[in-house]
Structure 1
Amino acid sequence: MMGIRQRTLKQGLPMKGNRMKRRCITLLRGALLSILVSATQAPMAWSQPEAPAPQGGQPARALTQGDAEAWLDGLLPYAIQQGDIAGGVVSIVKDGQLLLAKGYGYADTDSRTPMAADTTLIRPGSISKLFVWTAVMQLVEQRRLDLDADINRYLDFHIPDYDGRPITMRNIVTHRSGFEDVLKDIMGRYPPQSLEHYVKTRLPPRIYAPGAVPAYSNYATALAAYVVERVSGQGFAAYAAQHILRPLGMDHSTFDQPVPEAWRPNLSQGYITASTAPGYYEYIGPSPAGALTSTATDLAKFMLAHLQLGRLADGRILTEESASAMHALQPKVFPALNGMATGFYETTRNGHRSIAHNGGTQFFHSDLHLLLDDGVGIFISLNSAGNDEAATRIHNALFNGFMDRYFPAAPMAPAYGPAVADAPPATVRDDAKALSGYWGLSERHTASWLSVADLLAPVAIHDNGDGSVSFSIPTRSTARWREIAPNLWRSDDMRDRMQVLPQDGRPALLGFDVAAPIAFLPVPWWRSPGWIMPGLVGALAVLLLHGLALPAGALARRVYGLENKPGAQWLDHRVPKLLSLALIAALAGYPVLLSVLSADFTYFSARTDGITYVLEGVTLLLLCGATGLAMLSTMAQWRRHSRAWRKAGALVLLAALALVWWVAIAFRLINFNLQY
């Protein structure tokens, strides 16, 4: 449910500290892309190749069972061993047939149970969403659902309009519903309450106009599945079983949580790394958005059905017209980049278009691509995140290597997408300057203290002064980008393109070829880490020095045998300094809590509500107390006509507290909102 990835960005998540950091960045700031690195479902990971994309001219290998198996056998066993991944499965389909399905490594490292493509059950995370969109299209086909109608028509509760504009199902299937991201109850150790309960109690704020900004949303997918339940009169797990799984012969697939008792011996364990103990069974809160359990061969059947426009053998899940409509591109937000179909995101490699989706839980990481024009599909799932973003790197190596081997680029054609003439506009230096600054992921939190992730993990674009910019994105080192057409940029390594949408003459929205379900927006000045972080560090240093003056003074008096001055009373001397130290400790509690939550996503739940309330309450009380006493002290310095350095010190302390107030309000550290 991570996906970007992966998204989001969301997957991945080799040392414990690094894993926590990546999870924070991806999920809380976003996919990330990441989309959202390791959440429970995320948009796609940044799926750029590990090496510069080839420029074409390589001869294509024939895609046969023997060649594909030899190639996979040369890639995956070594890759999963080096990445400290327990195991994985792959399936490839071609021309209406299963070409290859194979397991690698272990489903259980303790018992040495091997991964088997046809029997080992895996959790493909957000790939579950494709079944939601398929169900939606079935109801559209039956004229029981209108993609462009107000979504409230199908609900028994009301979602308010945004500036007079309602959400439609078309907004939802393209991840443009405008909802804030939701993490609470996205994953747990125990069975969740009903889908109805989830969508009614986790309704997030609307932060964008519907259709305007790509922002991957697990909640919106759950809402779509709830519409399926309302319209069909069946629970989603039962609906999917009757109308999708059974017609396709997917006999080892289910949306039930947990899986039936008889299936459990075949369920793969999930791991962070193969060297660690297996994880717990992950219950997905918005279950249709990520709760599918399946096998590689079952998912091959799903791929075949979509490649054959809704049909597999005697089973049909969509008419040809509905399947074609589902695979067709929806109107784009970024006209020059890859876009969204109905739920699938578009990718382009070597001039070949595919529609795809990936998915990840904390332990399982999966990817699915359909090359519609070539009649080919490929699926991979790994049961471990591995070390150093191993799962993401293996996914990239597999798909990009597969495309370069069997579907290479035409001579002189770039692998990442359509060729674009390298003709930078005359305004390139001004454009680079305008683009520089801090940007925030569209899949974000604005109403709760989790918005502090934007401050702790900023994304910055730097103007290099030569018409290029540098932009560091998750799971990649910093890349240099150059403008090749007005508002269209290409990375120097040929891995990606980004497009800028201006508003009132300024860059307002930024998108990437590899990340159709997400975007970036400029960070407003009042939340900019550029000045807030240095200022906050300085403010905390002032509070620390102020607080340490208390033990330092006591030590000096002891060493030099000095007596306390008559005016050195608790209220005007000791208490303010103690409050300064206590306030620093309280502020440190937020990144500590963030680390705890990121280490185990089941803590994004009511389990930590009490801790959050206490932390915010203590922070508010300490801020009020410290500020009040600091103001009294400052006024006293003026009344006593104290020396200039004493007055200056009092003002500096007040300024430090004012900045802490700014941060606390701007990043929602004391608003007591537990809906995140």
Structure 2
Amino acid sequence: MSRPLRLFLCIFLSMFATAATAQIEIHPLAEKAPPKPTPLGARPLSADDAGAWLDGLMPYGLAKNDLAGAVVVIVKDGQVLLAKGYGNADVAADKPVDPASTLFRVGSISKLFTWTAVMQLVEQGKLDLDADVNRYLDFRIPPRDGQPVTLRELMTHTPGFEETIKNLFAGDPRHFLGNAAWVKEWVPERIYPPGRVPAYSNYGAALAGYIVQRVSGQPFDDYVGQHILQPLGMQYASFRQPLPAALAPHMARGYAQASAPPKPFELVNAAAAGALSASGEAMARFMLAQLQGGSYHGAQILAPATLRQMQDYSRAAVPGLHAMALGFYHMDRNGQEILGHGGDTQWFHSELALFPQQGVGVFVSIDGSDDGGLRKQLLDGFTDRYFPAPPEVPQPAPASARRDGALLVGRYANSRTSASSFMAMLGLLSQVRIEQDRNGELVTPGFRNPAGRPLHWREVAPFLWREVGGRDRLGARVEHGQVRWLSIDAVSPVMVFLPVSGLRSAGWNLPLLGAIVLLFALVALLWPVAALVRRACGKPFALAGRARLWYRLSRVAAIAQLLFYAGWVGVLMRIDASIAEMDSGFDGVLRLIQLFGVLAILGIAAAAMNAWHAWRVPGGWWRKLNSAALLAACLATLWFVGSLHLLVLHLDY
């Protein structure tokens, strides 16, 4: 073959090889997100289906519970799937709820905005989650066991603070303090080791908000408005109190019942813990940002890594129960990871739930003093309808079930309590009791089903029980053969129940308290009755001189005792009726009650002298017995005054 021919063939074969290579070139397809698993039996989550379901649930729930109005918003796959208003924002004006513009008080869901603000400043290197918060404050949080408070502990409700309610709300605008003044007014006692015991703390969230203010150099509501609300286009949302003039006409009025007159706009001193007012569609934008790596329509309020840091963090106080993330708490159900937060003011009740794996979020807010369980019914029903639980095979109870259950029998106190003020009374009254029935199941009179019957629990794993006929769980942390604490799914991220010592058990303290109050009431009542009977029968009073004096003074002491306890009953009733009334204006009432307490304590001397005179005289056994009983009751008051902190000098609670 000639040289030119060989050269031609080489060029031709080279071109052919290039063409062949071009024909089989592989172009990889663009990556797609993995398909979302569809649970067996799930209904398709569409606007039509969800709307029809809600239209059957919400109007009936509002009417049944005498509720004025509500808003429900569902987001899915980066957009608002559904936003609906129900009932009225203003009953008298027959003004319907508009999901786009009607504002609701979202209560403690506000904390999610506070935690978002904290994490923005963490991103910028201005805050350290694990540093002593005193680094950022102009006043001091005392250490506990030599350890400081950190922002991570504030975000997980584990700084160890006792409960606070004084001035949480401002019932009178003249007593409105604002967030910064409220956190500095009084630092609650740290009653638990830091980072250990979850105890939900409004003070902790308000403190975090003040740290945001200090570090950013902006008032808290200005900072949140500029760095969260405005970037997300949350036009109908604000932390300001009272609301700006442009937003005030859009506020739902706030009702105890739809059939009652509206209430004044609630003023929340602990603003960072619960002062946000927002429309349903405004909350939709916040949910979408949380579900889309911190971004909404090009506005990035948090970096994706920061958002993962918040949502992926997990701290479980009780193994097997719902855990706490950074700021969010788990509300998992039906095998679905659900992150969210609830919120309650006096007149509004709200819930926000995110399903990160499904790209779905739900927000509901209800106007009324009590939602009648409608929030739970909605969220449980939503999850069961669109993300039903997988089939389960019943498992036999562990062989240790009876022994494990017996270890839990006793009384428990909520970790969210007070230890330095009269609020300790609530801790005594709210103790829960764990019992065990014949078949080894646990019975909890303190935890009841919607019908009001005590829940029964069957052990499904060591120290983990499941509600019989339900899905809720009860669990216990057991260390060295002792129950350290227990909790249930509904509150386990932020609260536990600690064993109560025999000395502080409500099992004998409450009956004793009832008995001595009854005795004081009888003594106070029978004193004038006895005098009238003697006068009617023409019999002279048998006592004279000092015996007569001490007898009368002992009766005055009984009346002082009775007024002392009656005053505290009134306080408890006032707390139950309206926390907003527990502000500085109530201090005079507390001091008056304490004055009766001082008189009651001084009256112990009169009761003692009356008993001494009664026992000196032969015979007269009735007088001896009732004088001794009165003295014993007066001495018992010393126990309650000390254990319940009824005569402390300060008025912080």
- The two structures have a TM-score, normalised by structure 1, of 0.87
Number of the residue aligned with 2:35: none
Q: Deviations over 1:85-127 (max 9, x none)?
A: 1111111110001111111110000000000000111111111
Report if aligned partners of 1:90, 1:101 keep a CA contact under 8 Å in 2.
yes
Is the counterpart of residue 536 in structure 1 residue 509 in structure 2? no
1:253-332 correspondence runs (5 A): 253-332=237-316
Does the CA-based 8 Å contact 1:616-1:672 persist in structure 2? no
Whole-angstrom CA distance in 1 between matches of 2:648 and 2:502: 21
C-alpha deviation, 1:503, in angstroms = 4.2
Are 1:162 and 2:136 counterparts? no
- Give the secondary structure class of the aligned counterpart of 2:287: helix
Task: Trace 1:551-630 onto structure 2 (pairs within 5 A).
Answer: 551-565=528-542, 567=544, 570-625=548-603, 627-630=604-607
Give the aligned partner of residue 379 of structure 2: 399
- Using a 3 Å threshold, how does the CA distance of structure 1 residues 287 and 642 change in structure 2: closer, same or farther? same
Determine helix, strand or coil for the equivalent of 1:250: coil
Q: Are 2:233 and 1:249 equivalent residues in the alignment?
A: yes
Q: Tell me whether 1:76 sits opposite 2:58 in the alignment.
A: yes
Q: Give the counterpart of 1:483 among 456, 459, 463.
A: 459
Map 1:29-108 → 2, pairs under 5 A: 59-108=41-90
Long gaps (5+) in structure 1: 1-55, 414-419
Q: Distance in 1 between matches of 2:439 and 2:43?
A: 41
1:373 aligns with 2:357: yes
Unaligned runs of 5+ in 2: 1-37
2:153 is matched with which residue? Answer: 171
| Aligned residue identity for 2:390 | A
Q: 2 CA distance for matches of 1:318 and 1:57?
A: 31
Query: Cα 1:544–1:122, aligned 2, differ >3 Å: closer, same or farther?
Result: closer
Check 1:120–1:547 CA distance in 2 against 1; reply closer, same or farther (3 A cut).
closer
Task: Report if the CA contact (8 A) 1:182-1:202 is conserved.
Answer: no
Residues 620-665 of structure 1: CA deviation (Å, up to 9, x unaligned): 212221x101211233344445555544443322222222221121
Contact 2:517–2:565 (CA under 8 A) maintained in structure 1: no
Structure 2 partner of 1:6: none
Aligned residue identity for 1:424: P
List per-residue Cα deviations over 1:548-591 (Å, max 9, x = no partner).
44223213312321122352765222221232133213211111
Distance 1:423 1:235, change over 3 A: same
Counterpart amino acid of residue 401 in structure 1: G
Contact kept, 8 Å, 1:549 with 1:577, in 2: the verdict is no
Contact kept? 1:425, 1:484, Cα under 8 Å: no
Letter in 1 for 2:510: M
Please name the residue that 1:130 is paired with: 112
Question: Is contact 1:327-1:342 (8 Å) kept?
Answer: yes
Q: Report the counterpart of residue 7 of structure 2 in structure 1.
A: none
Looking at structure 2, the residues matched to 232 and 57 of structure 1 have their Cα atoms a distance apart, in angstroms, of 45
What is the aligned partner in structure 2 of residue 445 from structure 1? 418
For 1:105-254, list aligned pairs within 5 A. Answer: 105-188=87-170, 189-190=172-173, 192-254=176-238
Q: Measured at CA, do residues 597 and 409 of structure 1 come closer, stay the same or move farther in structure 2, by a change above 3 Å? A: closer
Distance 1:662 1:311, change over 3 A: same
Change in Cα spacing, 1:362 to 1:327, as seen in structure 2 (3 Å) is: same
Point out the more displaced range, 572-581 or 508-517.
Answer: 572-581
Is the Cα contact below 8 Å between 1:80 and 1:87 reproduced in 2? Answer: yes
How far residue 666 of structure 1 moved from its aligned partner, in angstroms, is 0.9
Paired with 1:474 and 1:266, the residues of 2 have a C-alpha distance of: 38
- Are 1:666 and 2:643 an aligned pair? yes
SS at match of 1:370: strand
CA distance 1:566–1:657, shift in 2 (3 Å): closer
Output the TM-score relative to the length of structure 2. Answer: 0.90
After TM superposition, give the deviation of residue 466 of structure 1 in Å. Answer: 3.0
Question: What is the aligned-residue RMSD (CA, Å)?
Answer: 2.0
Alignment partner of 1:653 out of 613, 630, 652 = 630
Whether contact under 8 Å (1:471, 1:480) holds in the other structure is yes
Q: Which amino acid aligns with 2:392?
A: M
CA deviation map 1:404-453 (0-9, x unaligned): 1111122227xxxxxx9443242x33433332222111111221112112
- Is the partner of 2:608 in helix, strand or coil? helix
Relative to structure 1, the CA distance from residue 561 to residue 400 in structure 2 (aligned partners, 3 Å threshold; closer, same or farther) is same
| Identical counterparts, % of pairs | 40
Contact 2:447–2:455 (CA<8 Å) still a contact in 1?
Answer: no
Partner amino acid, structure 1, of 2:273: A
| CA-CA distance at 1:474 after TM superposition | 5.7
Q: Quick one: structure 1 residues 566 and 443, their matched pair in 2 at CA, closer, same or farther if it must change by over 3 Å?
A: closer
The secondary structure found in structure 1 opposite 2:111 is: helix
Query: What secondary structure is seen at the aligned counterpart in 1 of 2:628?
Result: helix
- Of 427, 434, 442, which aligns to 1:461? 434
Letter matched to residue 93 of structure 2: S
CA distance in 2, matches of 1:168, 1:81: 45
Q: Which amino acid aligns with 2:346?
A: Q
8 Å Cα contact 1:425/1:485 also seen in 2: no
CA–CA separation in structure 1 for the residues paired with 2:277 and 2:312: 27
Partner Cα distance (1:503, 1:539) in 2:
39
Q: Identify the residue that residue 524 of structure 1 maps to in structure 2.
A: 501
* Partners of 1:131 and 1:240 within 8 A in 2: yes
Kept in 2, the 8 Å contact 1:174–1:330? The answer is no
Shift of 1:398: 0.9
| Cα distance per residue 1:203-243 (max 9 Å; x no partner) | 10001011111111110001111111111111111111111
Amino acid at match of 2:262: P
Instruction: Kindly name which structure, 1 or 2, has the bigger radius of gyration based on alpha carbons.
Output: 2
CA contact (8 A) 1:368 1:379 kept: yes
Q: Distance in 2 between matches of 1:566 and 1:296?
A: 74
Are 1:425 and 1:486, in contact at CA under 8 Å, matched by a contact in 2?
Answer: no
Aligned-partner SS, 2:50 = helix
Decide which moves more: 321-330 or 501-510.
501-510
Tell me how far apart the structure 2 counterparts of residues 551 and 201 of structure 1 sit (CA, whole Å): 47
Which range moves more in the overlay, 468-477 or 598-607?
Answer: 468-477
* Contact 2:178 2:268 (C-alpha < 8 Å) held by counterparts: no
Q: What letter corresponds to residue 622 of structure 1 in structure 2?
A: A
Contact 1:469–1:480 (8 Å) recurs in 2: yes
Task: Report 1 or 2 for greater relative contact order, CA contacts < 8 Å, sequence distance ≥ 6.
Answer: 1
Q: Secondary structure at 2:338's aligned position in 1?
A: strand
- Distance in 2, matches of 1:235 and 1:507, equals 45
Supply the distance in 1 between the matched residues of 2:253 and 2:282 (Cα, whole angstroms): 19
- The alignment partner of 2:73 has SS state of strand
Q: In the alignment, residue 433 of structure 1 is paired with which amino acid?
A: A
The residue type paired with residue 283 of structure 1 is: L
| Residues matched between the structures, number | 609
Q: Deviations over 1:298-317 (max 9, x none)?
A: 10000000100101111000
Look up the equivalent residue of 1:599 and give its one-letter code: A
Matched position secondary structure for 1:262 = coil
Change (3 A) 1:379 1:57: closer
